[in-house]
Amino acid sequence: MKIWLKFLIGSVLGLIAGGLLPSDNQDILGALIWLERLAIGVGRYALVPMVLFSLTIAVNELRQDGRFWRMVFQTLIVIVICAMLVISAGILVTLFFSPSRIPILIEEQIEMVSLNTHEQILELFPFNMFRPLAGDGIFLLPIYVFAFFLGLGLSYDRNYSKPVISMIDSLSRIFYHVASFFSEILAVVMIALSVYWAIRFHVVLRSEMFQDLIILLGFFSLVLAFGIFPLLLYFIRPKTNPWVVLYGSLGQALAGFFSGDINFTLPVVFRHVKENLGVRRRSSALTLSLFSIFGRSGSAMTAAAAFIVIINSYSSLGITTSDIITIGTQAFLISFLLARSPGDGAYTALAALCLTYGRGYEAGYLILRPLAFFLISIGTFLDVMIASFASYFIARLNKYQEDKRSKNFI
C-alpha cells in the first residue's frame, strides 16, 4: 500500500474518532496531549543522524562536482522568491476577501513569545563543536553547520579521508533506512495526531468566531499547493508532468498538515523526494536542509493573513498601503528566523509580527490562540509542499534528478 494512502486512512480514522469523542473531558484531552508528544517523538526519532550524515556527504560530493556554492546560491534565491510571492499573494487575498471581525477576548498575557535570534546565532558556534549533536533535535541549524564543516574537512586529503567518507556514506544510508522504517509505521501515529486535531477543530467550529478565516486560509492553501505550485513546474526544462510530482508529494502533505511540525515531516519528505521524485541525495540533502531552516514562507504568509484579520478586528480605520508594505516586509524577514520553531512556526511568526509591528498590537496574537493549531497546520503544510517542489525544481535544473514511474512510487 502506498504511504500516502496509509497516512490518509490513518488521518480519516483519527478524524472520525475525534468527532465521536467528547471535547470537554479533561482525562481524554490529557491522554491525547501525551499521545501527540509521543507521536511527534516517533517521527523525529531518526531525523538528526539522518540529516547529519546525509548533509555531510552531500557537501563533500557537491564540492567534488564543483557545484556546492552554485546550488547554495540557487536554493537561497528560490527561497527568497518563494517568500516574496507566497507572502504577497496571501496578503492580497486576505485584503480582497477580508474575513469577518473576530470578537476581542480579554486574556491575561502569560508569556511573551520571542524569536530569540541573538541566542540562535550564539548556538551556531558553541564552545564545543560536538555540543549540537547532544541537543534535543529541535534547533537543527547548529547540526547543519557541523555537517557543513565536516563535509569541507573530508576534502582535505583524499588519502586520509577516504575511509571516513566511506563510513559516513554508510551511516547516511543506514539511518536513511532507519528513518524509512519509521515512515512506514507513521500511519498509526497519524491516527493519534488527527484525533487531537479533530477535537480542537470541532471546538473552534462551535465557537463560530473563526469560520471565515478558516475557510480563507484552507481554500487558499489548497489552491497554492494543488494548483499554482504544480503549474509553475510547466516552465522548467526539460518538460515534466507537474501532476505526477504533486502525486508523489501527497505523503508529506498529510504528515505536515496533521503534525504541524517540520522536523516530524522532514524524514517523510526526504524519502518521498528521493524515491518518488527521483532527486539524488547530494541535491535533496542540501536543498531540504536549507528550506527547513530558512524557507518557512508558508508559515509567514499564514501569520501575515492572520495579523491583518487581527488589525481589522481591533480597529475600524482600515489598513493603509504603508501598513501593507510594513506587514509584508516584516513577515518576509520573519520567514527566515523560524528555525527554533519547528512545531509552532505560524503562531510564533504571528506573535513576532505583533511584537515587531507594535502600535498597541503586541498581544494581538492572543485572540487567535484557540486557532493556533490550525494556523500551524496550514503553515507547515505549505512549508512542506514548497520545499518538495523547490527541491525537485533545483535538482532537475542541475541534472540531479531522474524520472520515476508513478506506479513505482512508495
> What mean pLDDT do residues 148-163 have?
84
Q: Is the pLDDT of residue 410 over 80?
A: yes
Q: Residue 83's closest CA among 275, 303, 402? A: 303
Within-domain flag for 75: yes
> What mean pLDDT do residues 104-123 have?
66
Q: Which three cell numbers stand for residue 82?
A: 518563494
- The whole-chain average pLDDT of the chain stands at 89
DSSP 51: H
> What mean pLDDT do residues 319-344 have?
91
Instruction: State residue 380's pLDDT score.
Output: 96
Q: Which residues of 243-271 are buried (b: 16+ CB within 10 A; e: fewer)?
A: ebbbebbbbbbbbbbbbbbbbbbbbbbbb
Percentage of the chain lying above the pLDDT 70 cut: 97
Identify the three-state secondary structure at position 295: coil
Per-residue pLDDT tens over the stretch 334-391: 999 998 889 888 999 999 999 888 777 888 888 889 999 999 999 999 999 999 999 9
DSSP 273: H
Maximum C-alpha span of the chain? 70
Task: Choose between 393 and 318: higher pLDDT.
Answer: 393
Residue 114's pLDDT band, with cuts at 50, 70 and 90, is: low
Within-domain flag for 182: no
Instruction: State residue 158's pLDDT score.
Output: 73
Long-range (24+ apart) CB contacts under 8 A made by 202-211 are 202/18, 202/19, 202/23, 203/23, 203/370, 204/370, 204/371, 204/374, 207/370, 209/102, 209/103, 210/102, 210/368, 210/370, 210/371, 210/374
Instruction: State residue 183's pLDDT score.
Output: 86
Task: Choose between 186 and 134: higher pLDDT.
Answer: 186
Instruction: State residue 122's pLDDT score.
Output: 79
Separation between Cα atoms, residue 32 and residue 40, nearest integer Å: 12
Per-residue pLDDT tens over the stretch 70-82: 999 999 999 999 9
> What mean pLDDT do residues 297-322 have?
88
Q: Which three cell numbers stand for residue 176?
A: 536513511
Within-domain flag for 32: yes
Handedness of CA 277, 279, 281, 287 (dihedral sign): negative
Within-domain flag for 156: no
Q: Is the pLDDT of residue 193 over 90?
A: yes
Percentage of the chain lying above the pLDDT 90 cut: 60
Task: Quote the number of domains for the chain.
Answer: 1
Q: Is the peptide bond before 238 cis (omega within 30 degrees of 0)?
A: yes
Residue 156's pLDDT band, with cuts at 50, 70 and 90, is: confident
Instruction: State residue 113's pLDDT score.
Output: 64
Per-residue pLDDT tens over the stretch 212-248: 999 999 999 999 999 999 988 887 777 888 899 999 9
DSSP 224: I
Within-domain flag for 268: yes
Specify whether the CB–CB gap between 228 and 90 falls below 8 A: no
Q: Which three cell numbers stand for residue 394?
A: 533545483
Instruction: State residue 236's pLDDT score.
Output: 77
* Global pTM exceeds 0.85: yes
Within-domain flag for 243: yes
> What mean pLDDT do residues 190-197 have?
93
Separation between Cα atoms, residue 343 and residue 136, nearest integer Å: 13
Within-domain flag for 87: yes
Separation between Cα atoms, residue 21 and residue 152, nearest integer Å: 53
Instruction: State residue 133's pLDDT score.
Output: 81
Q: Residue 302's closest CA among 362, 361, 257, 266? A: 257
Give me the helix-helix angle, 26-44 and 158-207, nearest 10°.
Answer: 160
Within-domain flag for 399: yes
Specify whether the CB–CB gap between 192 and 258 falls below 8 A: no
- Expressed as residue numbers, the domain containing 216 is 3-45+68-115+194-408
Instruction: State residue 50's pLDDT score.
Output: 94
Instruction: State residue 391's pLDDT score.
Output: 95
> What mean pLDDT do residues 158-173 have?
88
DSSP 154: T
Task: Choose between 100 and 34: higher pLDDT.
Answer: 34
Residue 220 belongs to domain with CATH number: 1.10.3860.10
* From 23-32, 143-152, 313-322, 382-391, the region with the lowest mean pLDDT: 313-322
